[in-house]
Amino acid sequence: MKKLRFFILLLAFMCLFTSVAYAVSAETLDYGGCNIIYLRIEGHSGSIQNEADRYMIENGYADEDSIMLLVDTREREYYIDTSGRCIQLFPDKTLYRIEDSFLPYLKNNDWNGAGNTFFNSCISVIQNGNAPSSPNQTVIQALVSLAAGLLAGGLPLSKAKKDLISVRKKVSAYDYERRNSFALTRSTDTFLTRHVACVPIPRNDNRSGGGFSGSTMHSSGGHSFGGHGGKF
């Protein structure tokens, strides 16, 4: 009996001090043959990537075309997990932009706003094969394009402007050089020093191999996933 009581007590302590994932809410949408999942949890064990993979495998999403946003509201971490066709459909740069669109909501603890933005972004990508940009990014891109355009706008006019100016000083006396009079009287080339710089070639540890255009991949439980995550 004593041993049993000790075992129960130990189990209670383990439950108390071990962070176990607790799903607060899960929303799922099937759009264009893809599962779009938004899952909120409060705490998790291991890495958030493993937690996302585990959920995808246990719920059968890992075998289908799926994208899931997992948000841990307590640890203030998030992870976007992709599987199947969604790995190619959502490459890293697309995931970064989707992140940019919902991160402001996460930072303000607007969990529903983040979810809605995530769903809209994913739908947009599935519709067009692209992700919408955050408003800030679009404005910056537009302003930079405008500035570059206005600067470059003078280039097509430079010849027309130059045509108006025909009075210029001559730089050289090339027109008055005596023909074939140039004589090279000395020509010496003396070697001074030799220096060799050695730079190691960076190794590519990307498991996806060369030529893959999807997101950065990892494997879990015999399934392949793509994805990206971070803290907010």
Please tell me the distance from the alpha carbon of residue 59 to that of residue 54, in angstroms, as a whole number.
8
Cβ-in-10-Å burial (0-12, 13-18, 19+) of 169 comes to exposed
How many CB atoms are located within 10 Å of the residue 81 CB?
A: 31
List CB contacts of 94: < 8 A, sequence separation 6 or more: 125, 130, 131, 215
Interface pattern 90-129 for other proteins (x via CB under 8 A):
-x-xx--x------------------------------xx
| Binding range to other proteins, per CB under 8 A, among 20-28, 39-47, 62-70, 169-177 | 169-177
Which residue number, 18 or 188, has a Cβ lying nearer to other proteins?
188
| Binding range to other proteins, per CB under 8 A, among 4-12, 30-38, 106-114, 155-163 | 155-163
Residues 215 and 87 sit within 8 Å (Cβ to Cβ):
yes
Please tell me the distance from the alpha carbon of residue 74 to that of residue 131, in angstroms, as a whole number.
28
Number of residues located near other proteins, criterion CB under 8 A: 64
Structure token digits, residue 51? 């937690």
Of positions 4, 197, 205, 211, contacts other proteins by CB under 8 A: 197
Structure token digits, residue 184? 């090279």
Q: How many CA atoms lie within 13 A of 63 on its CB side?
A: 4
Please tell me the distance from the alpha carbon of residue 127 to that of residue 131, in angstroms, as a whole number.
9
| Binding range to other proteins, per CB under 8 A, among 54-62, 74-82, 101-109, 167-175 | 167-175
Please tell me the distance from the alpha carbon of residue 207 to that of residue 111, in angstroms, as a whole number.
33
Please tell me the distance from the alpha carbon of residue 64 to that of residue 82, in angstroms, as a whole number.
10
Of positions 5, 16, 189, 205, contacts other proteins by CB under 8 A: 189
Residues 67 and 86 sit within 8 Å (Cβ to Cβ):
yes
Of positions 16, 173, 204, 211, contacts other proteins by CB under 8 A: 173
Of positions 133, 208, 220, 224, contacts other proteins by CB under 8 A: 133
* 1 contributes a contact to other proteins by CB under 8 A: no
Interface pattern 13-52 for other proteins (x via CB under 8 A):
----------------------------------------
Which residue number, 89 or 106, has a Cβ lying nearer to other proteins?
89
Structure token digits, residue 97? 């932009």
* 211 contributes a contact to other proteins by CB under 8 A: no
Question: In whole angstroms, how close is the CB of 35 to other proteins at the nearest point?
Answer: 22
- By CB under 8 A, the residues from 64 to 83 that bind other proteins are none
Question: In whole angstroms, how close is the CB of 103 to other proteins at the nearest point?
Answer: 18
Kindly list the residues in this chain that would bind other proteins in the complex (CB under 8 A).
Answer: 91, 93-94, 97, 128-133, 141-142, 145-157, 160-161, 163-178, 181-201
